[in-house]
Structure 1
């Protein structure tokens, strides 16, 4: 039985005629040989996961928010918060997960999301009986729900529940304090070429807490490429840009102002840390609090 499963996994990782030879094949089979017996039969998430691998940076942050950061044994390259993640093994990046490294960690739970590299390793995990649970917030309200879900998976309900409730209270406060006058916003992802947030349900939902709307919410793409002439034709009330440094913010503001963007000429350029704003994790609420406060000050 174990031999058949190993063969099936081997074909999943290297389909067709692209199978590795020599040392690469031996390394894979050695890795599979190190798997404990329970890995071949386990089909459902454990009641209290002890060895967790996170396949996205926002999931890593959610695990720590749930009070289960000490259960993490691996994550992806882009996971950089909190500082405790520096010592974790890396199993790949957002585009590719190394199945050998992932399996060698012997996780009893893998947390992924319904995009990116997670889908590539899902058949392998299913074959091995390693539970894969998706954490994929679609709205801001889903973030505290995700924390509680991780709390249940790790038997960490008390601390996870407290963290989730704190976030819900902050969101309620934001909604109560939101100004009555709506504003339109462009969320800049990359300045050159100019990519902006488009049809992104999570971020468009998040802006509602500041009584703001995304000027490009109706375009089909989540991150459309637009020309400067498109920005000039639409003239949003505010533009949110990446806040890597004061110098870069100043240069970007001056560039947009010189091109005729009214928001830049009126000082309505807001800088937000992209890791806070674009990750669907607990720090998105931090970004919202900053954004709402700055919108209120500059309305």
Structure 2
């Protein structure tokens, strides 16, 4: 029964992406920027220009095809051995071309975007990746699997993610709302708006991002703005095995609801800040801290009644 449900999920996802059935025929998919990407043959030499892209490529069965990537592409373990051709600020275009890639999978917010014009002139196919919702992750896995000819790996990976997403949605759809502040970084104080996959996870878990309506994808906010919104929960993040976070700074504000209710909670930011295959684990972590905040709410109310 489990396998049957999985393949039903795969069939539904495949209907949402464009592909050509014959294995030897050209494959065309649509990337996250709305561009059509066509491969006459499965990609064999792929360059990843974002850590989340690297994770997606591995999960889709194409880890062995990655010939170059950027700084912080550290998951899975095998990704650490891939040659680096730059970071999100600058890439070594000459070195990249020397690697003879037949597919580039890029993230559109890197400061190296102007350098991409040179690569476009070289005629290398581009796939822009920026999943803004959890439901887009399995779709992306399928598309990358099609471009690389690794559908036999990508399809079950997509189905597994989709099944977990459906279960998480069912478990959290009727839970009380928790107004939340998601703190990416403490100094300066960075957060994310509603267009980021983090906010999609917060919504799924029954939460509300207090700065979700801001127009900037990753806005800097002030301490005063957070105090004014007075969130019930502050979610801090750790990254790359660093156990430190800056949410303890909020302990200095006795009137802050999140502080009074002991809701200064941290998660592994790499799981959800990177919109890749581990995002479902990040969503589970967010649901867990929202549940903890609800539990603290109940405990506080019980104390007040005594």
Q: If the length of structure 2 is used for normalisation, what is the TM-score? A: 0.78
2: distance between equivalents of 1:194 and 1:121? 29
CA apart distance, 1:118: 5.5
Q: Which runs of 5+ in 2 are unaligned?
A: 1-36, 295-306
> Which residue among 260, 263, 267 is the counterpart of 2:258?
263
> Which residue among 268, 272, 289 is the counterpart of 1:277?
272
Pair 281,175 (structure 1): closer, same or farther in 2 beyond 3 Å: same
> Which residue among 96, 118, 128 is the counterpart of 1:124?
118
Q: Match of 1:240? A: 235
The alignment partner of 1:149 has SS state of helix
What are the Cα deviations for residues 32-79 of structure 1, in whole angstroms up to 9, with x where unaligned? xxxxxxxxxxx9524311111101111000001111101111100121
Q: Match of 2:167? A: 173
- Please say if 1:216 is aligned against 2:211: yes
2: distance between equivalents of 1:228 and 1:115? 26
CA contact (8 A) 1:113 1:134 kept: yes
* 1:138-177 aligned within 5 A: 138-177=132-171
What are the Cα deviations for residues 117-148 of structure 1, in whole angstroms up to 9, with x where unaligned? 46323322232222112122121111111100
> Which residue among 279, 291, 294 is the counterpart of 2:286?
291
CA-atom RMSD in angstroms? 2.0
CA apart distance, 1:246: 9.1
Which range moved further: 204-213 or 117-126?
A: 117-126
CA contact (8 A) 2:176 2:206 kept: yes
CA contact (8 A) 2:141 2:155 kept: yes
* 1:1-299 aligned within 5 A: 44-117=38-111, 119-178=113-172, 179-243=174-238, 248-249=244-245, 252-253=247-248, 255-260=249-254, 261-299=256-294
1: distance between equivalents of 2:87 and 2:223? 32
2: distance between equivalents of 1:160 and 1:84? 18
The alignment partner of 1:185 has SS state of strand
CA contact (8 A) 1:122 1:132 kept: no
2: distance between equivalents of 1:252 and 1:279? 20
Matched pairs, number: 255
CA contact (8 A) 1:46 1:108 kept: no
Q: If the length of structure 1 is used for normalisation, what is the TM-score? A: 0.79
CA contact (8 A) 2:194 2:200 kept: no
What are the Cα deviations for residues 223-261 of structure 1, in whole angstroms up to 9, with x where unaligned? 222222221111111110023589745x733x3122232
2: distance between equivalents of 1:113 and 1:185? 27
The alignment partner of 2:234 has SS state of strand
2: distance between equivalents of 1:175 and 1:240? 20
